[in-house]
Amino acid sequence: MRFGRRKQATAVAVAVIGGLLGPVVPAATAAPAVPGPPAAAPDRADASLPSVWPRPQTVKASGRTVPLGTEVTVLAGAGADPYAVDALRTVLREAGVTTLHDAFPGRGPVVRIGGPGALEALRVLRAPDRADLPSGGYRIASGPVAGRDTVALDGVGEDGLFHAVQTLRQLIRDGAVAGAVVRDWPSTAVRGTAEGFYGQPWTHEERLAQIGFMGRTKQNRYLYAAGDDPYRQARWREPYPAGHRAEFRALARKARAEHVTLGWAVSPGQAMCMASDGDIRALTRKIDAMWALGVRVFQLQFQDVSYSEWHCDDDADTFGNGPRAAARAQARVASAVDRHLAQRHPDAEPLTVMPTEYYQNGSTEYREALAAELDDRVQVAWTGVGVVPKTITGRELAGARSTFRHPLVTMDNYPVNDYAQDRIFLGPYTGREPAVAIGSAALIANAMEQPSASRIPLFTAADFAWNPRGYRPQESWQAAMDDLAGGDAGTRAALHALAGNSAASLLGGAESAYLRPLLTAFWASRAASGPERGEAARELRAAFTVMREAPERLAAPAEGRLDDEVRPWSDQLARYGRAGELAVDLLQAQARGDGAGAWRARLELDGLRERIKDGGTTVGEGVLGPFLDRVRKESDGWNGVDRDSGTVTEDADSYTVRLGRPRPVDAVTVLTDPGGGSADAVLQAHVPGEGWRGLGPLSASGWTQASTKGLRADAVRVSLPAAAPSFTGTRAPLLPGPATGAAGPRVRAVVPWFGDEPAAGLALVRGETDAVIGGGPQRVEARLAGRRPSDVRGALTADAPEGITVKVPKRTTVPRGSRTDVPVDITVPADTPAGEYQVPFSFGGERSTLTVRAFPLPGAPIWPVRARRPPPETRPRTSRRRPRRTAIPPPAGPRPWRTAPGGRRSWRSRCGWARWCCAGRTRTPRATACRSRRTAAPGERRPPCARAGAGASRSGWTRRTPGSSGCRATAGPRSSGTRCGRWRRTRWRRGSGVTGRRGATGAARRRRRTGGRQAWSPRSPDAPDGAHADTPSIRASTSSAPNGWRYGSQRGSRCPVPMIRQARPLGGAGGWRSRQPSSGRWRSALTWLQRRQAATTLSQACCPPRLRGMTWSTLVAAAPQYMQRPPSRAKSARRVRGTGPR
């Protein structure tokens, strides 16, 4: 069951390393500050129906409600479960029924439970058929039968009727039975709780109460496996004392009445000679004795057994050493005990074995040997993959079942807390897939040492085990808290606060989740004024008040036992609640300018923080503590003690702060303990050439502020009436302050406010931002920090360069000693050239600069389509050598088509996405291009293919319409010595007669391919007449860039052009090196925009004037979506002839 003591530290260490004890992604919402109505099941057909837990498989509204009144006739069928009938009578009396009739006709409405009468009533009420309901299933229906209000209950198996009564109890509201039809059954046959923790075992009364709770929540297994019970471990041979035996008998009676099977686990460990038949007989005698006490299920635990240490020499001689030996020994004992149970008690359930390797993953020597040696009837227990796993999946369950080859009992170590005794885990049961509940022979949750508090997570675990597919952790958790708290609203609020601040665990969950939005709203309202700030403060303070009052409000639940169990945590929660109230009061007083009130709250808050540190328990981890830390920093900033004011010197009669040089001082703040002879102390300033000048007495409140109106001084001091030890430091200490004598006040800090420093600090949350040319505004936060003894008011100004628009608030107020975030919107108009721009900001004498990187709109064509002829001297020479035409036909079978913008499709090849093809067309295995006319995609600047009459060539699409000019790129055949094809750049001009007709001679093809000219310079459509880029030829110089790319730069321009990889890797960088053709120059890549638009025109390699000013870093950062790295050659085995970039 629960892991041994020596394994606890390891498990917790692993959890901490994995970050599971801290705040995590929330698995459930925490309690609201003020509790709402009880949680409801959202899958009900009618929202008017009361909620039922565990959540039924099917429930729907039908007919009208049945008022019960004071008299009811109860008709029990022959053979009806007597415990269910007794439970029904109890439910009716709790609903206000005073008289119960046992014979027909009786008086009042009729309640039929079991027997033919109930079956007939269910038929009349049109309830679903029983059909294949499993054991534990039931049906309920209500409505008129033969002119009389009737409620009918029918169940399957020994506990079906009992489960029906538990659902009926929840359907009764305000003295009436809701009109509903229920057909319900358990998804997991065995659902229960284990007392398997290490620590103080539960008392007998606590166990009886727990059994009653299990009956109400439809659990049917209680496993006694107390970690510190010697009579089930080292002293397992000895019988229990008489008092313990009496308690077991009473517990068994209670369990039978609640339809709960009582189980007992024995852990002989290494205190048993497993090769001894005598020891096995002693073990079976102990099991028979426990059977006589009412125990009906047994578990044999070997979780702490060593592979190499035996209790007797016979074990080593018989089994040897190692994992296989231990497995054989344990299997011998377990099989013998299981055979004994089957022979002596034929109705006994199979024995369960907790193996030594109960949380590992996969197959091992030990597991293989144990699976082979165990009798087939024996069940094997496990805890999932890990001692306290965050998740348990159906795949993991299936793997463990295939390894052990026996039915699995899932023993889940939640909410047990013996490995983290400063915590109580009150969050919901999460992280388990429905297949775990459905596929397990039993699902048992291990409880905490606090039984009443354990009911919250155990309630949710029971809900999950009953109906895992309909389980909703948040709603189940709310219902669990309402169930434990009862009907008192104050108790519900306190319990919600305790559970909400104790929800995080190794399973996940967000600590203090209900407080987080309140804290966020409170901090956001600090920049506001008036009602908004006050409302946020009131809501947060109300939540803290609930926490402070929690210990008194938790006295009633669970007959008062809950208060005793959780008192350490509720007291800690109350301390945090009072600290939170003081924190809110402190900040509100500072906002009003009430320094004395804020200082009183600060002193009390600091004392509470010390008590919280000594509390020894953990609540609200990661939320409450950081909130108080932030409030403390806000207080320090408001009082000015977070700045270096000078050197502090204490002597017999003064507390002095030396400023180092004469400086203008606007004000001086003094913090002392309240009272303590403050009236006798005097605040003074040392003026050069004049000496000490009095500024006034200290206030008895402990907070004093004297206005000096720019007085130039080189020191300030508090003159004390009594001597004190000497002290010298570099800054004023705040808490604890040095003693200054019994007659004078205890000085905590003396803070001068200087007039020669900026009125506020200015810092940008981020120093650079990217903005799309012609796009929407980009928001940047400017953080202002006040450095004056009063609020700083002014305007944040921006000196924006031409082409950049900056929007800032007209007026900004920075509260004293606080930080204020001011939103700044940056917009780049459409006619702004791309590049980097510096935007200086200033406020209160402080300056800061923002770098704005402007880039074109992503996804829009950023290269022009039309081209003009460059001067002859700039035309590059291009090799006319044609690559070898080596066909690489595509493989047969279905291809991984993908849809491209505009409805075109492409397929995957070894070199990446090969070619854009026409929508709705296919491709034959021998063809290398789409056999259909290609049309333009919506929004394209120019159709990539010809108008009517376009055709396909071996190397890709061609243009048959002469009399036009522009650029085109086609996919050529595979290059010699490489695995990928090369891209060919083609130019044509008016009248060139480019047709691309198949069968033409090589010379004709070359003429058509080049159009008689090799180079054209493009011109941007929006550029002035005569403006054009230089030649698009590429120099052999390259520049390394991120993501394994290598870039080249165009001759005579600053336009960067990407160089796509070829077959050879670029050593160590994960990228590839461009292949250099025989012509001696570098070819540019034509697939930079293949994610956003069809890569079919040479314009991709051309540079419009508006991009010339962009640097490498600007382009890489501004358009990362264009920088897609081609996939590795090893990722695909498909080959398509004539594809791939060069």
Catalytic residues, by residue number, are 304
DSSP 1045-1109: -EEEEETTS--EEEE---SSEETTTTEEPPPPPTTSSBPPPS-TTTTTS---SGGGG---GGGTT
Give the count of beta carbons closer than 10 Å to the beta carbon of residue 373: 17
Both tokens of 1087, joined, read 């697939």
**How many angstroms separate the CA atoms of 690 and 301, rounded?**
87
How far apart CA 124 and CA 118 sit, in angstroms, is 10
**CB 382, CB 370: distance < 8 Å:** no
Q: Which residues contact 299 (CB under 8 A, 6 or more apart)?
A: 1, 223, 225, 263, 264, 265, 266, 351, 352, 353, 354, 381
Structure tokens at 638: 């408001």
| Cα dist from 301 to 288, 296, 311, 341, 381, whole Å | 17, 17, 16, 17, 9
Q: How far apart are CA 1090 and CA 1126, in angstroms?
A: 10
* Cα→Cα distances 120→65, 79, 116, 125, 207, Å: 20, 16, 6, 9, 40
Q: Residues, the chain, total? A: 1142
CA nearest 1038: which of 1058, 1062, 1068, 1063?
1058
d(CA 48, CA 171): 11
- Tokens 């009579």 correspond to 231
CB-count burial class (<10 Å; 0-12, 13-18, 19+) for 457: buried
Q: How far apart are CA 631 and CA 624, in angstroms?
A: 11
- Distant-in-sequence, close-in-space partners of 839: CB < 8 Å, separation ≥ 6: 798, 799, 800, 801, 804, 806, 826, 849, 850, 851, 852
Q: What value, to the nearest 5°, has the Cα angle with vertex 547 and ends 545 and 553?
A: 100
Q: Are residues 138 and 167 in contact, defined by beta-carbon separation less than 8 angstroms?
A: yes
H helices of 614-686, in order, are: 624-639
Give the integer Cα–Cα distance in Å for 969 and 1139. Answer: 12
Phi/psi of residue 195, each to 5°?
-95, 85
Spatial contact of 843 and 798, defined as CB atoms under 8 Å apart: no
**Structure tokens given for 96:** 């206000």
Residue 998's Cα: distance from chain center in Å?
Answer: 60
